[in-house]
Every structure is written in structure tokens, then in C-alpha cells.
Amino acid sequence: MQGGRRAVMDLIAALATFARVAETGSFSAAARERGATQSAISRQITALESDLGVRLFQRTTRRLALTEDGQEALANARLVLEAVAATRNAAARRSGEASGLVRLAAPVLIGNLIATRMPELLARHPALSVHLVIGRTTHDLVEEGLDLWLRLGESTHATEVTRTLGRVERLVLAAPSYLAARGRPAHPRDLTAHDCVAVPVSGGDRTWHFTGPDGEDLAVPVASRFTTDSGEAVLRAALAGAGIALAAEVAVRADVAAGRLVPLLTAFPPEPLAVTLVYPSRRNLAPRVRAVIDFLARDILGRPDPFGVANGETPGRR
């Protein structure tokens, strides 16, 4: 009996690995997700092919493609995995226990914060595991098998379920070398005559929003000869004197204190950046997912000082 149960568990694990290899198109990507070696993942797939008596993938030096048998096996594997997940979730809901794996994606700035405080969550829920994906700016939750995605900026997809957990204050800054060469803007409208380095937050938009002294909203289109999806790259370019940057205040505190970056337009605070939680559905949230949501909302971003500035911590950049 014990051997039969172990064989079933091994088969489920192999099907889960097979599904992730098929979805990512890569043995190495599946290996990174599972903390395993690429050779171990390859052996698991080979064993599954032997057990099923079919070839699942066509392997070449350049690409990995499902065979016709592999496509049919993937559809069946997903049914099995969905049934297993549903069974586990139902059992967890009955017991109220947060158990199992939650896959969460976050930008660098918040991901580093989550990692620092992860022991609190894991100590609270001994049966819970978390896989944190850091740094990517876009995700397909269903395709990538993500339970949650923390993003900076509002969601632009109507089909996504979103919840704003907080806001990140931002500063407009430039290096002394840039200001010496190009001068200092006195009003947000002056930015149109400057080079700005930017992260297009949504839909490629390069409009920066400010609040005027009387509370009015000022929308200013900026000229960006250099744009990137990396906040770190924006700051490196700004530090090198490439232009004026709009960045999370918490990410530039050390550079401002050292005089490497100079805050600008302080009478016109930029619009804070929303921290948005995205997930596939509100229905039938497993206790493990709800536990992580509650932790993010209450114990991390719900704190008065979420980035630990009062404790002297040095936050990461996004």
C-alpha cells in the first residue's frame, strides 16, 4: 500500500514537472522554479515518457516542442493537477489551514521587502511555501501558474481582479552634472524642454502627473530619449547625467543623502505610484492564497512605514 501511494505521488509530481516544462518551453526554467538541476528535470521527463510509453517532446539544440502525444498528455495532466489542487484546497478550507505553495511575482523594490519579512509569514503558517518571482514587469498569471502578482501602477486589463494595497511616494531628480549642463526646471511644464529618463508605467504612457500648490492636477508629457522597463536602469542613467528621472523616493534615499541626485520641483509632488495586487479570480480563494494576501495587505504594505525607514533598513530599488 505504501509503495502504491508513493508511486501515485511520484506520478503527480512528474505530471506537474511535465506541465511546467511544456508551459515554459524550457527544462532550465522548470528546474529554476523547483530548485532542481536541469538534468534532474530531464530524467523525470524521461521516466514519465517511459512510464506512459510515448515521446512527449521533440528536442533539438534550439527548441523544445510537444509531440502530438505530448499535447494530449498535457491536456490530461492539467485535468489531473486541477483535480489534485481542488482536493487539497477543499481539505484546506475545511481545516482552515494555509498549506501548499503560493507563487507570487513582485517588482524588485517590493520583492526585496517581502523576502526580508518572509520569516514572519512562514512562522505563522508552518505548512505554507512561497515561490517569489522578482523583477519582471509583465506577467500572464494563468500561463505562468502565478497565484498573485504585485505590480507598480494600476492594472490595465479589465479581466484581472485587482486590489490597491498602498502607494509609493516618488521624486523627480537629476544628477548635479545634468543640472550644471542643462539648468534646473522651475515648473513641471519646464520638463518639456529637458531630457527625461523614464519607465513607461502603462501602455507606453510618458505623461508625468503632479499636484500643484492649489491641489490641481498637472499632466506633463515628457520627452524621453531613453526609456526602459527597469527602475534600476533609470536611476543608473540619471546618476550618469543622462536626464531627469521620476523614481520611488525609497529607492533613491541614499543617492539623495550623498548628493548624487538632487530632488527637483519639490513644490509640485508627483503622483504616487499605486501598488496593485493582481490575481485571477475572487472565487474560491484557497486559504494559502488568502493568507499571503492578508500578510501583504496588513503586515507589509499596511504598515505606516512599510519600507522600514524608521528601523534604518536600506530598501532595494525596483
Cβ partners under 8 Å of residue 47, min gap 6 = 14
Q: What are phi and psi of 172, to 5 degrees?
A: -100, 130
Same fold for the pair 2-93 and 170-271:
no
Q: What are phi and psi of 91, to 5 degrees?
A: -65, -40
Point out which residues pair with 149 in neighbouring strands: 105, 278
Instruction: Identify the CATH class of 2-93.
Output: mainly alpha
CATH topology classification for 170-271: D-Maltodextrin-Binding Protein; domain 2 (3.40.190)
Sign of CA pseudo-dihedral 236, 237, 239, 243: negative
Q: Name the nearest CA neighbour of 292 among 193, 201, 163.
A: 163
Let me know: does 251 contact 316? Beta carbons within 8 Å.
yes
Going residue by residue through the chain (318 aa), what tens digit of pLDDT does each one get? Answer: 455 667 788 888 889 899 888 888 888 888 887 778 888 898 999 999 999 999 999 877 677 889 999 999 999 998 888 888 777 666 655 556 788 899 999 988 889 889 999 999 999 999 999 999 987 767 777 777 788 999 887 765 556 688 888 888 999 999 999 999 999 999 999 999 999 998 765 445 588 999 988 888 999 999 888 888 788 899 999 999 999 999 989 889 999 999 999 999 999 999 998 889 988 776 667 889 999 999 999 888 887 666 654 444 445 444
User: Domain limits of the chain?
Assistant: 2-93, 96-167+274-311, 170-271
Residue 132: C-alpha distances to residues 34, 108, 110, 148, 278 (Å): 12, 11, 11, 10, 14
Q: CATH code for 96-167+274-311?
A: 3.40.190.10
Cβ partners under 8 Å of residue 317, min gap 6 = 108, 109, 231, 232, 235, 248, 251, 252
